[in-house]
Amino acid sequence: MAVGEARLGELLSVPGLRLATVSAGIKKPGRRDVVLMELAASSHVAGVFTRNAFCAAPVVVAKEHLAASQQRPTYLLVNTGNANAGTGEAGLADARRCAAAVAERAGVAPESVLPFSTGVIGEPLPVQKIIDVLPQALAALQVDGWLDAAHGIMTTDTRPKACSVRFSCNGHSHVLTGIAKGAGMLRPNMATMLAYLATDVAVSPAILQALLAEAVELSFNRITVDGDTSTNDACMLVATGAAGNPSLRSTDDPLYDVLRNALQEICVDLAQGLVRDGEGASKFVTVQVNGGAQEQECLDVAFTIAHSPLVKTALFASDPNWGRLLAAIGRAGLVDLDVTRIAVYLNDVLIAEQGCRASSYTEQQGAAAMAQEDITIRIELQRGPATATVWTTDFSYDYVRINAEYRT
C-alpha cells in the first residue's frame, strides 16, 4: 500500500521520442513487461548507473554501447521480471543478443541499442521471449506511450511513477517527461531503480551529463527504503533536440538554469514517488539534518537514521521512541560530536535537547506526530552551515512478507 494519494498528472509527449510497451510473459503470462523507446537521430543521451560491484549484465552492456555510440543511441530496451544479474558471461551474451535483435530489425548498429533489465537476480534471461515480441514493439511505437511504459517497467511497485513539466526560454517552449520504478532493494547509489527522462531541448553531451549527475545526486541519491543498492540501477536522460533551439553548450546560457531547475524538480518528484510506494510502506519520512560542518556529515546522520531498523519499526508502530534517534545520531561517525548542542524534532515537536528529553516534551505530543502518514525528523547539529535531506519509509509486516515471497 503506497503512502498518500497518487499524483499522476498529464504526461506530455516529447517530440523526437516514441515508446511501446508489450507483453513477453517473462515472469507472468499476459504481463506487459517489455518497453522499447525509439530516439530521434538528433538525440543525445546521458546516463548514471549503479555503483554495486555486482552490476548486472545489461548495465555493463548499456555503458559500453553508450560510449561506443558517443552518447547517441537510437533505442532503449527495457524488460522486467528478470534482472539478468549474477549471470556471468552468459548474461552478457544475452544482453548483447537482445540489443543485436533490436538493431537487426530496426536497421541500426548494435551499439545503438541500450539494454536494461529489472527483476529476479541470478536467473537466465529468457532472451527468445523478448526477441519474439520485438516486431510487435516496433510496430506499436507511439509518441504518447509514457503511461503504458511507466506501468511496463514496474516490478513490486503498486502504482506508476511519472510526471511532466513545461518550461520556456529564449523564445522556445519545451517539455520534460520522466518515469521511474522501484519499491524495494532501494538505496540508489548512482550510481531495483530505473528512471527514464526525456526533453526536446538540444543539449551538448557534456552539459547533459553534468545536469543529470547533479539532479540524481539531489534526488535519487537522497532516498532509501531498505539500504540495499540494486545491481541494476540506471537513470537515463534523453535530449532529442526536436525543439530546434541552438544547442545548450554553456552554463552561462539562460536555458541552463531553466532546464536545470525543471530536471531537479522532476527528479525529486519521481524519487519521492518511489519512497511513497516503498515495499510495505505506511509512512513517508523526511529526515532533515541542519547545522553540519560539511554536507557529508549531515548525510551520514540522515542515512544512519533512515537505515536504522529500530527507528523504522518504531515509525511503523507510531511509537515516539526518541532514544533510538539519539542512538542513531551517536553512531553516525561524526568526529568530536557535542551531544549537548543537538536538538531533535518530530515534525515541529522538540523531543530532545542538551543530551536528554526536552523539558517541554510530552509522550502525547510524540504519539500525535508519529501517527501522521507524513513525518519529518529534524536534527539540529549546531556545528556549521551545512544541511541535507533524505527521504525514507518505515518497516512494516508487509515489507517482510513481500520480500519473503519475492520468488514464489
231 shares its domain with 336: no
Residue 267 domain flag: yes
Of the pLDDT bands very low, low, confident and very high (cuts 50, 70, 90), residue 225 is confident
Q: What is d(CA 144, CA 151) in angstroms, rounded to the nearest whole number? A: 13
Instruction: Report how far apart, in Å, the C-alpha atoms of 337 and of each of 324, 333, 378, 382 are.
Output: 17, 9, 17, 10
Boundary (domain end) residue, out of 248, 276, 304: 276
Segment 66-122, tens digit of pLDDT: 999 999 999 999 999 999 999 999 999 999 999 999 999 999 999 999 999 998 899
170 shares its domain with 121: yes
Q: What is d(CA 335, CA 328) in angstroms, rounded to the nearest whole number? A: 14
258 shares its domain with 360: no
> Rounded to the nearest 10 degrees, how much is the dihedral formed by the CA atoms of 395, 397, 398, 403?
80
Residue 118 domain flag: yes
**Mean pLDDT taken over the chain:** 93
Residue 3 domain flag: no
Q: What is the mean pLDDT of residues 331-351?
A: 96
Q: Is the pLDDT of residue 137 over 90?
A: yes
Of the pLDDT bands very low, low, confident and very high (cuts 50, 70, 90), residue 187 is low
DSSP 337: -
- Show contacts of 92-96: CB within 8 Å, 24+ apart: 92/57, 92/60, 92/61, 94/57, 94/124, 94/125, 94/127, 95/57, 95/58, 95/60, 95/61, 95/125, 96/61
Segment 363-405, tens digit of pLDDT: 999 999 999 999 999 999 999 999 999 999 998 888 778 778 7
Residue 315 domain flag: yes
226 shares its domain with 345: no
What residues have CB less than 8 Å from 149, skipping those under 6 apart? 19, 21, 35, 37, 179, 196
Of the ranges 46-55, 189-198, 281-290, 329-338, which one carries the lowest mean pLDDT score?
189-198
CATH of the domain at 352: 3.10.20.340
DSSP 230: P
- The rounded Cα 120 to chain-centroid distance in angstroms is 18
Q: Determine phi and psi for 205, rounding to 5 degrees.
A: -55, -40
> What pLDDT does 259 receive?
98
Please tell me whether residue 392 adopts helix, strand or coil conformation: strand
Residue 269 domain flag: yes
Reading the block at residue 219, the C-alpha cell is 534526488
Boundary (domain end) residue, out of 251, 276, 301: 276
Cβ contact 36:19 at 8 Å: yes
Of the ranges 28-32, 113-117, 330-334, which one carries the lowest mean pLDDT score?
28-32
Q: What is the mean pLDDT of residues 112-133?
A: 96
> What pLDDT does 50 receive?
86
Q: What is the mean pLDDT of residues 162-185?
A: 90
> What pLDDT does 314 receive?
95
Instruction: Report how far apart, in Å, the C-alpha atoms of 106 and of each of 99, 196, 257 are.
Output: 11, 21, 36
Q: Which of 73, 162, 145 lies closest to 115 in space, CA to CA?
A: 73
Segment 284-320, tens digit of pLDDT: 999 999 999 999 999 999 999 999 999 999 999 999 9
> What pLDDT does 408 receive?
66
- Scanning the structure block, which residue is given the C-alpha cell 555493463? 60
Please tell me whether residue 164 adopts helix, strand or coil conformation: strand
CATH of the domain at 235: 3.60.70.12
- Give 285's strand partners: 375, 392
Q: What is the mean pLDDT of residues 163-175?
A: 96
Residue 11 domain flag: no
- How many other β-carbons are positioned within 10 Å of the β-carbon of residue 396? 21
Q: Is the pLDDT of residue 168 over 60?
A: yes
162 shares its domain with 247: yes
Strand order in the sheet with 234-239: 44-49, 234-239, 194-199, 172-181, 161-169
Q: What is d(CA 163, CA 198) in angstroms, rounded to the nearest whole number? A: 11
Among residues of the chain, what percentage have pLDDT more than 70? Answer: 95
Supply the pTM of this predicted model.
0.92
Domain that holds residue 319: 284-404
- Give 369's strand partners: none
Q: What is the mean pLDDT of residues 321-337?
A: 96
Please tell me whether residue 357 adopts helix, strand or coil conformation: strand
Reading the block at residue 51, the C-alpha cell is 555503483
124 shares its domain with 59: yes
Classify the phi-psi angles of 63: left when phi > 0, otherwise alpha if psi is within -120 to 50, otherwise beta: alpha
389 shares its domain with 251: no
Residue 212 domain flag: yes
208 shares its domain with 328: no
Residues identified as active-site: 192
Of the pLDDT bands very low, low, confident and very high (cuts 50, 70, 90), residue 149 is very high
266 shares its domain with 307: no
CB burial of residue 227 (10 Å; 0-12, 13-18, 19+): middle
Residue 130 domain flag: yes
> What pLDDT does 190 receive?
43
Instruction: State how many domains the chain has.
Output: 2
297 shares its domain with 267: no
Boundary (domain end) residue, out of 220, 241, 276: 276
56 shares its domain with 181: yes
Q: Is the pLDDT of residue 210 over 50?
A: yes
Question: What single string gives the DSSP state of each residue in 28-89?
Answer: STT-EEEEEEEE-TT-EEEEEE---TT--HHHHHHHHHHHHTTT--SEEEEEEEE---S-HH
DSSP 188: -
Of the pLDDT bands very low, low, confident and very high (cuts 50, 70, 90), residue 191 is very low
> What pLDDT does 214 receive?
96
233 shares its domain with 339: no
Segment 259-284, tens digit of pLDDT: 999 999 999 999 999 999 887 889 99
Of the pLDDT bands very low, low, confident and very high (cuts 50, 70, 90), residue 188 is very low
DSSP 340: G
- How many other β-carbons are positioned within 10 Å of the β-carbon of residue 336? 6
